[in-house]
């Protein structure tokens, strides 16, 4: 009896009963993957660049030593807050991507059903997958600790802020990763998991506070929403289930300790987020067991197959195909790959209802933000439309990048790529069909942008010339992003690798690029390279377009009298405003350049289409 109790206690204290052999297997595999080491290298590189730029922007290297010493505390605060915000965003994105194929990999390789024939249970499958992949993120967080500890010596930053930000970031990444794993169980396509998880997190963190803010009539920022609900219990609930609010509150309290903020406790928020993650993982364990049993019994295809509505069909003609289980044969019209991709729904679901539900929720949330802006009296101001269009451009670019990078890797993972290459279709036909599919799936986002422009042009809050300029911007973003995504989709065999590589290119061009250009401008102040670079940045172009064409005043101005201010990006030479003709010419030149680069990536993807097909 005592021996049995001792064995039970030892098993309870041993963490192996939670993770099982899945955790050990995942660690052994991840240790042999070069992309994990590359991820750590580039993570450290980007952090170093951030620190160098922030340091040079705060401390004057050629100034007096006394003045530099007085600025050390400010430099330390700015560097720490920059690193904290960067890793808070990066950890959640990486968690969603890394866990987006955690269970679908087992489904594709048909090993999930075999796992149920072993002593491994659903708890060990789920926890082994989650902990093994989150361990890579924990290593990235551990990399930043020495940097934060060294910078803290400069003063102004307490250990409490470092600890709280680290815990908030880690629990937010666990929640995002758990949600991504849950959605990967019932979705075979990695891009669908990433998009649904991002949509869910965005709705939970941003759309819900915005809608509540519109209902209470107090702006559309999260903090204004919280201040409007100070005396209610809903304030505490909203703050403690939203890591974005938590990181903003802790950062503001560190920068301004004397200012009294909202009632907030970061340990409580970490416990709440871990509790929500535990509920999601418990749900995932139950679903994993059902899917595994269905695969073991050969019913998995029926599990994933969408239900179809019953339609009355006319009696078939006497062609000998009346008893065919496939039903009526649909004739292919046009290019086969394009025909096949266009027949697929935007978002896979029962009767394609997820597409309509998601579109309806998005439109309702957008109308609430319009209502909030109208109540604040700023809907006719140019800066409001700058924010809206930047949001649409960001979402459109992200969605386009995900879909383009997964067009071919999804075929490889489903083991249908070799069959497609064995058809008489040329490489150009295959890539063109995949490009059309990627562009088509981004139409809802670009449709929101077009609807916003048309609506406010009609009520004269935006000048009509803005439609032409934004069309040029959207055209080159679509061509460039699609070309880059297809190229990496042909080079990699895994969807995760292709998506990460595509995002690395875009983040390097449009996130790390401004930092490097800022560092270069400090070293060489007379160079015109920063001005040339900023003209190629999509957010800068959006800002210039809306600064000149957005707002009631500009919308009612004759198009020949419109002026576009470029003084904030042109540091030398002519800093005067641009006319409509010159602005259009500049945008057309940048668009042509990006379209040519996108076509170059498309050509390179065509060259690599039939190479290393047996990876």
Would you say residue 100 has pLDDT above 60?
yes
Helices vs. strands in the chain: H and E counts, helices first: 30, 0
Of the two residues 534 and 217, the one the predictor is more confident about is 534
Q: What are the helix (H) ranges across 492-579?
A: 495-510, 512-523, 529-535, 538-549, 552-555
Average pLDDT over residues 382-387: 86
pLDDT at 128: 83
Q: Is the pLDDT of residue 101 over 50?
A: yes
323-332, 432-441, 603-612: the lowest-pLDDT one: 323-332
Taken in order 414, 415, 419, 425, the sign of the CA dihedral is positive
For residue 23, what are the CA distances in angstroms to 28, 34, 325? 9, 19, 43
Give the H/E segment covering residue 315.
none
Closest CA to 385 of 299, 470, 461: 461
Residue 547 in this model has a pLDDT that exceeds 70: yes
Largest CA distance in the chain: 96
Mean pLDDT over 9-33 rounds to 68
Token pair, residue 433, equals: 């069909």
What is d(CA 397, CA 54) in angstroms, rounded to the nearest whole number?
27
DSSP 576-595: SPBPHHHHHHHHHHHHHHHH
Condensed to tens digits (0 to 9), the pLDDT of residues 181-236 reads 888 887 767 777 887 888 888 878 877 776 665 555 444 444 444 444 444 566 67
Residue closest to 74 by CA, chosen among 11, 5, 154 = 154
pLDDT per residue over 121-170, tens digit each?
778 888 888 888 888 888 888 888 887 777 777 666 778 888 888 999 99
What pLDDT does 309 receive?
46
Position 20 pLDDT exceeds 50: yes
Better-scored residue on pLDDT, 540 or 64: 540
pLDDT in tens, 453-507: 999 999 989 999 999 999 999 999 999 999 999 999 998 887 778 888 888 888 8
Beta-bridge partners for 578 = 564
pLDDT band at 585 (very low <50, low <70, confident <90, very high): very high
pTM to 2 decimal places: 0.72
Kindly report, residue by residue over 241-253, the tens digit of the pLDDT. 889 888 888 888 8
The yes-or-no verdict on residue 340 having pLDDT over 70 is yes
pLDDT for 321 equals 44
The residues, any chain, with a CB within 8 Å of residue 319's CB and separated by 6 or more, are: none
At 578, phi and psi to the nearest 5? -95, 145
Token pair for 66: 């006394």
In whole angstroms, give the CA distance from residue 187 to residue 196. 10
Helix, strand, or coil here: 550?
strand
- The contacts found for 233-240 with CB under 8 angstroms, 24 or more apart, are 235/262, 235/263, 236/263, 238/208, 238/209, 238/212, 239/263, 239/264, 239/269, 240/264, 240/265, 240/268, 240/269, 240/272
* Distance of alpha carbon 615 from the chain centroid: 27
């Amino acid at each position: 009896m005592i021996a049995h109790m001792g064995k039970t206690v030892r098993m309870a204290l041993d963490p192996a009963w939670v993770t099982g052999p899945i955790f050990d297997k995942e660690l052994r595999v991840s240790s042999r993957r070069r992309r994990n080491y590359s991820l750590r290298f580039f993570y450290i590189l980007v952090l170093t660049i951030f620190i160098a730029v922030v340091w040079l922007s705060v401390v004057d290297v050629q100034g007096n030593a006394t003045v530099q010493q007085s600025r050390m505390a400010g430099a330390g605060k700015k560097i720490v807050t920059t690193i904290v915000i960067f890793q808070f965003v990066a950890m959640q994105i990486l968690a969603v991507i890394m866990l987006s194929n955690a269970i679908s990999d087992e489904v594709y390789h048909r090993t999930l059903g075999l796992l149920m024939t072993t002593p491994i249970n659903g708890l060990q499958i789920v926890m082994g997958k989650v902990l093994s992949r989150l361990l890579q993120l924990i290593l990235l967080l551990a990399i930043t600790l020495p940097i934060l500890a060294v910078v803290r010596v400069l003063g102004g930053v307490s250990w409490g802020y470092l600890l709280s930000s680290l815990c908030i970031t880690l629990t937010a990444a666990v929640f995002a990763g758990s949600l991504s794993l849950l959605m990967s169980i019932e979705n075979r396509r990695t891009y669908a998991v990433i998009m649904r998880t991002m949509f869910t997190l965005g709705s939970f963190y941003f759309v819900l506070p915005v809608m509540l803010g519109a209902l209470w009539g107090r702006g559309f920022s999260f903090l204004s929403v919280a201040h409007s609900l100070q005396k209610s219990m809903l304030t505490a609930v909203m703050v403690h289930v939203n890591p974005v609010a938590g990181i903003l509150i802790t950062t503001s309290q560190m920068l301004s300790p004397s200012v009294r903020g909202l009632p907030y406790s970061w340990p409580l928020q970490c416990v709440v987020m871990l509790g929500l993650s535990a509920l999601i993982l418990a749900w995932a364990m139950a679903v994993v067991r059902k899917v595994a049993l269905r695969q073991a019994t050969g019913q998995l295809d029926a599990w994933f197959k969408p239900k179809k509505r019953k339609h009355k069909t006319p009696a078939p003609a006497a062609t000998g195909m009346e008893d065919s289980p496939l039903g009526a044969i649909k004739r292919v019209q046009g290019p086969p790959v394009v025909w096949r991709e266009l027949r697929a729904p935007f978002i896979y679901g029962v009767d394609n209802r997820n597409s309509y539900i998601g579109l309806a929720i998005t439109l309702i949330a957008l109308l609430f933000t319009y209502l909030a802006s109208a109540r604040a009296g700023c809907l006719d101001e140019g800066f409001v439309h700058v924010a809206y269009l930047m949001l649409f451009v960001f979402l459109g670019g992200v969605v386009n990048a995900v879909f383009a990078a997964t067009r071919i890797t999804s075929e490889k993972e489903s083991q249908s790529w070799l069959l497609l290459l064995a058809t008489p279709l040329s490489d150009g036909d295959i890539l063109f069909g995949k490009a059309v599919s990627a562009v088509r799936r981004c139409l809802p986002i670009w449709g929101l942008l077009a609807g916003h422009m048309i609506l406010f042009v009609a009520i004269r809050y935006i000048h009509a010339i803005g439609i032409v300029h934004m069309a040029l911007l959207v055209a080159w973003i679509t061509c460039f992003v699609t070309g880059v995504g297809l190229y990496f989709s042909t080079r990699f065999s895994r969807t995760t690798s292709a998506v990460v590589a595509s995002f690395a290119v875009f983040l390097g061009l449009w996130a790390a690029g401004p930092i490097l250009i800022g560092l270069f401008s400090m070293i060489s102040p007379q160079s015109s390279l920063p001005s040339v670079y900023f003209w190629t940045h999509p957010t800068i172009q959006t800002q210039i377009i809306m600064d000149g064409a957005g707002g009631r005043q500009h919308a009612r101005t004759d198009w020949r009298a419109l002026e576009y201010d470029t003084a904030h990006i042109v540091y030398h030479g002519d800093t005067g405003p641009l006319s409509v003709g010159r602005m259009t010419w500049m945008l057309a030149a940048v668009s042509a350049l990006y379209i040519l680069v996108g076509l170059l990536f498309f050509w390179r993807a065509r060259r690599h289409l039939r190479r290393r097909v047996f990876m």
